[in-house]
Amino acid sequence: MTKIIGLTGGIGSGKTTIARLFEDEGIPVYIADEEAKKILDLPETIQKVTSELSPSIIIDGKIDRKKLAALVFNNPENLKKLNAIIHPLVKIHFDKWVQQNHNCSFVVKEAAILFESGSYKYCDAIITVTASEKTRINRVTQRDKTTKEAVLDRIKNQWTDAQRIEKSDFVIENENFDDAKIQFQNILKKLRNS
């Protein structure tokens, strides 16, 4: 049976970099955020989201992500409504994807909110990627052309590294790529031998 390895970490921790290392090893990786964005573009999802939240988030027949973010960012009730629509659809899509990769001994599910969404419960092992707050802020401000304050707001709305680590089987400290790659190789060896 195919094992599911959860890969998570806060914004700017470098989990996508680690996901690429798995892909380079020929291991299938499911990027939950990318799939959630695709699901959000489906007509039936657009209809559900706008009826639950607001039709004002639609521009040219698509959900305007900035308007949606503004609606849910500091509004736990709206975020809960959105997650109640998106998370079950991502789970259905992910389960089908796992079936398509049933011949692999394990697959990786990369998700920023692996714990918050509850999808960690379906993982056989979990890897948390960490980096210092300073490193994370630098990475995200450069990548997203955003402000330090905006990044700190997003960090504040996610679980802390300590919370994630407590529920994880492995941790990769991703301050510099060479060190992270060595840690990745060690974990990969353990996963392949388990």
User: Can you give the CATH number for the domain in which 62 is found?
Assistant: 3.40.50.300
SS3 173: strand
* pLDDT of 153 above 90: no
Tell whether 57 and 11 lie within a shared domain.
no
- Report yes or no: 18 and 172 within 8 Å, Cβ to Cβ: yes
* Angle between helical axes of 32-40 and 43-52 (0-180°, round to 10): 80
Helix H segments across the chain? Answer: 15-24, 32-40, 43-52, 65-72, 76-100, 133-144, 148-156, 161-166, 177-193
Tens-digit pLDDT profile for residues 37-56: 999 999 999 999 999 999 99
pLDDT at 87: 92
DSSP 51: H
Average pLDDT over residues 78-84: 91
Number of independent structural domains in the chain: 2
- pTM score above 0.85: yes
Q: Which of 69, 100, 131 is the last residue of a domain?
A: 100
**Nearest-angstrom CA–CA distance, 169 and 126:** 5
Tell whether 140 and 194 lie within a shared domain.
yes
Give the dihedral of Cα atoms 103, 28, 86, 59; nearest 10 deg.
-130
- Report yes or no: 14 and 180 within 8 Å, Cβ to Cβ: yes
- Binding-site residues from annotation for ATP: 12-17
- Supply the mean pLDDT for the chain: 94
* pLDDT of 74 above 80: no
Q: Which of 74, 100, 126 is the last residue of a domain?
A: 100
Beta bridge partners, 125, equal: 5
Residue 106: pLDDT band (50, 70, 90) is very high
Tell whether 119 and 175 lie within a shared domain.
yes
Average pLDDT over residues 86-91: 94
DSSP 62: E
Tens-digit pLDDT profile for residues 116-136: 889 999 999 999 999 999 999
Range of the domain at 178: 1-28+106-194
Residue in 138, 129, 139 with CA at minimum distance from that of residue 161: 129
Tell whether 23 and 34 lie within a shared domain.
no
Tell whether 124 and 180 lie within a shared domain.
yes
- Binding-site residues from annotation: 12-17
* pLDDT of 194 above 90: no
Tell whether 36 and 5 lie within a shared domain.
no
Tell whether 15 and 44 lie within a shared domain.
no
Tell whether 141 and 156 lie within a shared domain.
yes
